[in-house]
Amino acid sequence: SQTIHQWPATLVQPVGSPLSLECTVEGTSNPNLYWYRQAAGRGLQLLFYSVGIGQISSEVPQNLSASRPQDRQFILSSKKLLLSDSGFYLCAWSVVGQTQYFGPGTRLLVL
């Protein structure tokens, strides 16, 4: 069966520090991969998606970037964190035209 992992689970970082969040998927090949952010409140916002290695589409101009160095690995990065980058970051995977499945998420607090 397929599983999705995210780490770390929680992170507290100072403003201006770099960021690297990792997401890996097991049990499937060539998945579509996604990064979402859920800010205080409820809505989920799509940040990036990838349909293959090295292929990244950005949905929202921002302080973050994403990379997909391997088929089942998706990384969210920043060179310098802002206070507004705080939130709950969720990684998801899907096969085209089917259900998206979400990881457990990373809670990021920027101080």
Partner 1 sequence: GIQVEQSPPDLILQEGANSTLRCNFSDSVNNLQWFHQNPWGQLINLFYIPSGTKQNGRLSATTVATERYSLLYISSSQTTDSGVYFCAVEKNSGGSNYKLTFGKGTLLTVNP
Near partner 1 by CB under 8 A: residue from 13, 22, 28, 46: 46
Binding mask 58-77 for partner 1 (x = CB under 8 A): -x------------------
Q: What is the largest CA-CA distance in the chain?
A: 39
Q: In whole angstroms, what is the distance from residue 63 CA to residue 29 CA?
A: 30
Q: How far apart are CA 47 and CA 62, in angstroms?
A: 9
Contact between 37 and 21 (Cβ < 8 Å): no
Residue 87 found at the interface with partner 1 (CB under 8 A): no
Which residues ranging from 11 to 40 are in contact with partner 1 (CB under 8 A)?
32, 34, 38
Q: How far is the CB of 47 from partner 1 (least distance, A)?
A: 11
**Given 35, 49, 74, 93, the residue binding partner 1 (CB under 8 A):** 49
Nearer to partner 1, 18 or 104 (CB): 104
In sequence order, the 6+-apart residues with CB closer than 8 A to the CB of 39 are 45, 86, 87, 88
The nearer residue to partner 1, 34 or 74, going by C-beta atoms, is: 34
